[in-house]
Chain A
Amino acid sequence: MTRESFDLQLDSLQESLLALSSMVEEALLESVENLKRRDVAASRMLIKRDKEIDNRRYAIELEALTLIATQQPMAGDMRRLAATLFIANELERIGDYAKGMSRVNIRIGDESLMKPLIDIPRMAAIGQSMIHRAMEAFVTRNVELAYAVIDDDEAVDALHDQIYAELMTLLFQDVSKIRQANLLLMAAHNLERAADRATNISERAIYSVTGEMIDYGWENDVS
């Protein structure tokens, strides 16, 4: 091997990206758990911890840019580094959605929930699994897995639509719940966007292996 030290640096960058992903997945699940348990203090803590996610993302970006500047990567190496830069950004944004969920919890405050949370935790579980498998697809260069993750986005979108319909029905019955319904919709929207970001990560996992840029769901967006 002629580029052992470069390969080691690439591996170490990948480790950092996986660590960031773990933090983000955990934050997403925890944000929903806090909402379910009505734990406002924990939500405030989670918002504070988001700074760590931001810092890790910037460290990864800096490391990737340093490798580009000093190692002049080409072809597969360049695609991997370009994907790393993009994925770090996507993960950081998912962290922001966990922060958004926490704000929802803080704003609901000590009110009791207008309905038991069932579909929102389901959305979070699928979203977390999508992020986890998208990262696995990137690391193991598994294009098939990346496509499977992209397919799961439909389930999250369906749950989002279901939550919307359910909240609207409840609103018709009791219009005084409009504020909380709006906040819960915001929570669902955050989770729906988190799953979209997992889809983006999968697209970059595919690009990293094949060199092909795809934009899955574009037809759905415009139709």
Chain B
Amino acid sequence: MNPNNSNGTPAANGKYILQADKLNVHYGNFHAVRDVSINFERNKITALIGPSGCGKSTVLRSLNRMNDLVDTARIDGHVRFYGKNLYDPDVDAAEVRRRIGMVFQKPNPFPKSIYDNIAWGVRVNGVRSNMDDIVEQALRGAALWDEVKDKLKQSGLSLSGGQQQRLCIARAIAIRPDIILMDEPASALDPIATLRIEELMTELVKDYTIVIVTHNMQQAARVSDYTAFFSVTPDRTGYLEEFGQTNQIFTSPQSQITEDYITGRFG
């Protein structure tokens, strides 16, 4: 971790902000993910796709140490953020999650006002001043400001599903992370709200690096720059089958397994 970098400004000059290297995840005796190595390029969207149980969400959760919260989880290998292994003993997991935020499948705003949904996380991180500006900036960044500016004191739960998800994105970006992880962020939304989130992602990627898990292949094809296709061995261990530029994966995949999956003939 680079302690001098607290506002999303890249501190390292390398192309890759995050690098998973021979990542293995076990839940108890179950080998969930095997030898996954991927480099995530800065200010790009990388989509993780694959059939159920292929380990894509497990990999995503390993990228900001969310799996620490699972008692039986064991991680081997490295996840390097600006070159520093996130699993080194001197790394603070809370700081990791501040710098690498996450947006979940189901919008999960706090049962608080729209304003407080954003201000709370910022306050927890020790910022007290200019809160109005920070809230406005975050809501603008999440393309929600115009819809909620006159009702900031209303409950976050009063918003529609799509708006709630954008509120969660605003909450994530208010603390200025470097990377936003998204775990099927639009799967609970209607098609219009889904397209709005996708449009938002293409705006956000100018300032952030995004890694998204999605079951929707058209979504991966529409929004991402890179696509990682995960598959699963007969003993149910997930592994990375193919990684490449999204246009290549969806027009001319190298692997027959990838081809069969994305053309809907397997999985």
Query: A-side interface residues toward B, CB under 8 Å?
Result: 1-3, 6, 72-79, 210-212
Contacts and interface: CB of A to CB of B under 8 A. Distances in A.
Contacts of A76: 259, 263
Given A72-B218, A76-B259, A3 B265 contact: yes
Give the secondary structure class of B's interface.
helix
Chain B interface size, under 10 / 10 to 19 / 20 to 34 / 35 or more: 10 to 19
Contacts of A211: 251-252
B161 interface: no
B146 to A, nearest CB: 32
Contacts of B252: 75, 79, 210-212
Contacts of A74: 217, 221, 250-251, 262-264
A77 B251 contact: no
Contacts of A1: 265
Given A74-B221, A76-B263, A78-B250, 20 more contacts: A2-B264, A2-B265, A3-B263, A3-B264, A72-B218, A73-B263, A74-B217, A74-B250, A74-B262, A74-B263, A75-B252, A75-B253, A75-B258, A75-B259, A75-B263, A76-B259, A79-B252, A210-B252, A211-B252, A212-B252
A11 to B, nearest CB: 15
27 contacts: A1-B265, A2-B264, A2-B266, A3-B265, A6-B264, A72-B218, A73-B263, A74-B217, A74-B221, A74-B250, A74-B251, A74-B263, A74-B264, A75-B250, A75-B251, A75-B252, A75-B253, A75-B263, A76-B259, A77-B263, A78-B250, A78-B251, A79-B252, A210-B252, A211-B251, A211-B252, A212-B252
Interface in B213-267: 217-218, 221, 250-253, 258-259, 262-266
